[in-house]
Amino acid sequence: MAPILPNLPVASLSPCSEIDEKRPVILVTSAPAWNAVQDSLTGLPVGTRLEPCEATLATWDGLLATVKDSSAQVVYSVGGGLTADAAKYFASRLDLPLVMLPTALSVDAFLTCSSGIRQDGCVHYIPTKAAESLVLDLEMLSKAPAWIRSAGITDVLSIATGCWDWKFAQERGQNPSGMDLIPWVYEAAQAILHGSMDCAEAAGRGDQPGLKCLYDCLAMEVQLCNQIGHARPEEGSEHYFAYCAEQYTGPGWPHGELVGPGILRMAERQGQDIQLYEAALKACNIHLDRIPPEVVRQTISRLPDYCQRHTLPFGIAHIPEEKI
């Protein structure tokens, strides 16, 4: 199959209460998200409701097998990252259009065209599909719980460490084939990174222009990766730290609370000044000390071996601490 260059969903900046869906709907959601917004979604005729609680193919296929409603014509995703990833999988398997309704700007998953699944102790991205449309209800997003509302900043701030790794690997001739450093993409990613730091405070407070700016940064980061066909500009050692830590914390830990500390730890190792990154993470209310210290210690000591074992693209995390 010829490679494709996926697009972002077409976003409508409108209140979700204006949704007036005529087609029979398969709703993918989580209980907390649904409870928070269902009163505004009277225009959504829900036939089937799926609540994925884990990002594994076995769980998703199990839920898919319960879908008996063959009249469904559209899938709606109402919730956060896990919901979005599962909904993209269901919509692509059922060959149905997908409408994304993020209830918090918690990750970039509601914009991407693949789904992260947990398999053999790591996160693998399987091609699924991007949503055709997205409802960006800024007022609703501003009312999301503070700890999750703008946690997606971690998927933009990860450019700080991801891009560093990308360049580092290039200098050492260690970038996998097809992932060579592209200087203008590197520069474009830096501009997006700066944009996210500029809006961190406003987004963290829940100000609507700040949330819109964070959304723009997430959208540009995702589309930049869409254009080049890989995620090296925004995914490096900080995500490897998160994937490895997840083996000890167990599934379902908020992505931002794993990636956030990963950014700070890895940026420090890279010799970067972490002050501005830390300020942006704190402004967005990311809990940076939720992972138990024992888990952090284990993660750090296992990380080089973990990166080798899962053949992750080269970065600072591949190098044992004592050799830096």
Sign of CA dihedral 261, 263, 267, 270: positive
Residue 107 Cβ vs Zn ion, minimum distance, rounded to whole Å: 6
Rounded CA-CA distance 215/149 in Å is 11
Burial of 256 (0-12, 13-18, 19+ CB in 10 A): buried
Output 155 or 278, the one with its CB closest to Zn ion: 155
**Range 100-119, binding Zn ion (CB under 5 A):** none
Residue 41 Cβ vs Zn ion, minimum distance, rounded to whole Å: 27
Number of residues that bind Zn ion (CB under 5 A): 1
CA neighbor of 124 nearest in space, from 221, 223, 56, 58: 56
Output 204 or 262, the one with its CB closest to Zn ion: 262
Residue 304 Cβ vs Zn ion, minimum distance, rounded to whole Å: 21
Q: Do the Cβ atoms of 234 and 179 come closer than 8 Å?
A: no
Output 155 or 246, the one with its CB closest to Zn ion: 155
Q: Do the Cβ atoms of 106 and 82 come closer than 8 Å?
A: no
- Per-residue string for binding with Zn ion, 123-162, x by CB under 5 A? --------------------------------x-------
Output 63 or 218, the one with its CB closest to Zn ion: 218
Rounded CA-CA distance 256/31 in Å is 20
CB atoms closer than 10 angstroms to residue 221: 28
Output 208 or 223, the one with its CB closest to Zn ion: 223
Residue 83 Cβ vs Zn ion, minimum distance, rounded to whole Å: 15
Sign of CA dihedral 7, 10, 13, 14: negative
Output 19 or 286, the one with its CB closest to Zn ion: 286
**Range 257-296, binding Zn ion (CB under 5 A):** none
Nearest-CB residue for Zn ion: 155
Output 37 or 222, the one with its CB closest to Zn ion: 222
Residue 255 Cβ vs Zn ion, minimum distance, rounded to whole Å: 6
Residue 286 Cβ vs Zn ion, minimum distance, rounded to whole Å: 13
Residue 106 Cβ vs Zn ion, minimum distance, rounded to whole Å: 10
The contact set with Zn ion (CB under 5 A) reads: 155
